[in-house]
Chain A
């Protein structure tokens, strides 16, 4: 009986650990981890008609930093169709021209920060409205689909969400 309970708990735990979300968009399947819905609220999911990009966005419940400012970290997945199969370096450089940040570290599947080979990850920061933002960014490409993952927080509450950022970025894969 005890063994049976252990097995059931193991299976349940495995299921929770591998709970995945899946987006079928522009002929590709983008998979990523399902976030804890008690703290990460899905705030957008669908095709943005003005940009023709599929957007999946989660907003964290407010966290007070040391200054008493209420911060809501964001995790966003933005999928777009590319007219040409850009290599992932060019895709990433192109995206960084549009969405600039200061790179602190570069990651990949090789560094075990990502699990999908055709992706570049960054630990980065930028400043806005007197706040330093700390973020993880991933740029992925599969055939004619490019995916940006932006995990954005401020320095003051970064520690509270860093593990979620890392886990989410690592969970992203693309396939047909």
Chain B
């Protein structure tokens, strides 16, 4: 008589240990967060949600971005070791990069990296840096993957669901189609009505079958 418990035996047989992380919420700067949220409606991704022919609108968005940067840099003068300020500044520069502000990309990486060094337990900084990498250049997809994975590892259950979307792109750009399909599945389990995600899952499945 044959039993089919071979996989089961393999599955039971091993043990691994991972480092433990915790989450430190930062409730400071609610007003600036509101401005960052407003900016994100326009410039969270590339290309920004703004008519490039409308120079007045483009200038207004750039000016709004600069205004938030000025406020954060003023605060940072007195608190250079404040991880939350660096993270916010990095996030604003990331969106500035999407608005084609010169040097914004480099500033984004610098501030977000500093934020992570100062507070390695902040998932938002990893998520932001992941977004920058995944939007900036396909070559940065491995770095983006690492950032999204770290953000998920550090986050409360299911909260950064968009990190799965970022992961799906990061895997896709690296040709890791099976992983990309898995990430789209999880994202769609949380956002079943996302038509763009459904289409991107189909594309990844198409690449996987070839």
Residues of A within 8 A of B (CB): 48, 51-53, 55, 57, 59, 62, 69-74, 76, 78, 82-90, 92-95, 98-99, 101, 103, 106-111, 114, 117-118, 120, 126, 128-129, 131, 133, 135, 137, 142-143, 148, 150, 152-154
Residues of B within 8 A of A82 (CB): 18
Residues of B within 8 A of A (CB): 1-8, 10-21, 149, 152-153, 157-158, 164, 167, 178-179, 181-183, 185-186, 188-190, 192
Please tell me which one of the listed residues B2, B16, B20 contacts residue A72 in the complex, with CB atoms under 8 A apart.
B2
Cα distance, A87 to B153, chains bound together (Å): 6
Please tell me which one of the listed residues B1, B16, B152, B192 contacts residue A94 in the complex, with CB atoms under 8 A apart.
B16
Given contacts A84-B19, A95-B11, A98-B14, contact A73 B153 (CB under 8 A): no
> Does A74 contact B11, Cβ atoms closer than 8 Å?
no
Given contacts A106-B181, A133-B4, contact A117 B17 (CB under 8 A): no
> Does B15 contact A52, Cβ atoms closer than 8 Å?
yes
Residues of B within 8 A of A153 (CB): 4
> Does B3 contact A87, Cβ atoms closer than 8 Å?
no
Please tell me which one of the listed residues A59, A99, A110 contacts residue B188 in the complex, with CB atoms under 8 A apart.
A110
For the complex formed, measure the closest distance between the CB of B151 and the CB atoms of chain A, giving whole angstroms.
Answer: 9
Given contacts A72-B1, A120-B185, contact A84 B18 (CB under 8 A): yes
Residues of B within 8 A of A98 (CB): 10-11, 13-14
Q: Which residue of A lies closest to B4 (CB)?
A: A152
Q: Which residue of B lies closest to A82 (CB)?
A: B18
